Amino acid sequence: MDFLKPISSNKIPCPDPTVKAESGFLDLYTGKNEDCRFCQFSAREQILSEVKKLLDIYSNEEAVSITITGHSLGAALAILSAYDIIEIGLNALKDGRAVPICVFSFSGPRVGNARFKERLEMLGLKVLRVVNVHDLVPKSPGLFLNEQSPPMMMKLAQGFPWSYSHVGVELALDHKKSPFLKPTGDPVCAHNLEAHLHLLDGLLL
């Protein structure tokens, strides 16, 4: 399900039908199964309800911000959630203030097309993507058409269902440069969250 489709097709309000995200991520975020007691409400419904409740409790008493984080598939859902919150204006308080929102993404795949990236930037969503340069997950989907392709090619391919762009700012890490991690030929280790946190901790020391 790695083809792009309009975000609005999954009932997420978006005024621009050219803003698209990966079909599988959208379906996972908005899907529900009323016959299952654990899935009667979609991830979207649960997240928006909880954020609204917390803002109602705390926004009158103190300055608040919203930080969403996730690893791998969770990173993709974190970006979709943050986009949704800011797109529908859930972060807009009654006094006119806007609660700032940011995402810390670990090993996240590409989520949407170039218009999705532009829409996030226009709405003011901040995203920091922490990636291991040897990890394959952040290189997909969009192996051939992505933000690293020539601009002219991306412009010609903007309507294609497999033309993706990463969002936000990338923080690239390399587990092979750590003196504390044993060498391994297993590519799965490059996707390990603990390794990312170790590298991030060493970078900030």
166 is catalytic: no
Which 3 state secondary structure label does DSSP give 45? helix
Residue spans of alpha helices (H) in the chain: 23-30, 43-58, 73-87, 114-123, 151-156, 193-204
Euclidean distance between CA atoms 128 and 167, whole angstroms? 9
Q: Which residue has the tokens 């911000």?
A: 65
Distance CA 26, CA 1 (A): 10
Range 6-14, long-range pairs (CB < 8 A, 24+ positions): 7/83, 7/112, 7/116, 12/44, 12/84, 12/87, 12/88, 13/87, 13/88, 14/87, 14/119
Counting every residue, how long is the chain? 205
Q: Which element (helix H / strand E) includes 103?
A: strand 101-106
Q: Answer yes or no: 72 catalytic.
A: yes
Question: Which residue in the list 81, 84, 107, 135 is annotated as catalytic?
Answer: 135
- For residue 135, indicate whether it is catalytic: yes
Q: Which one of the listed residues 9, 72, 149, 178 is annotated catalytic?
A: 72
Residue tagged active-site, from 71, 166, 175, 191 = 191
Give the residue numbers marked as catalytic: 72, 135, 191
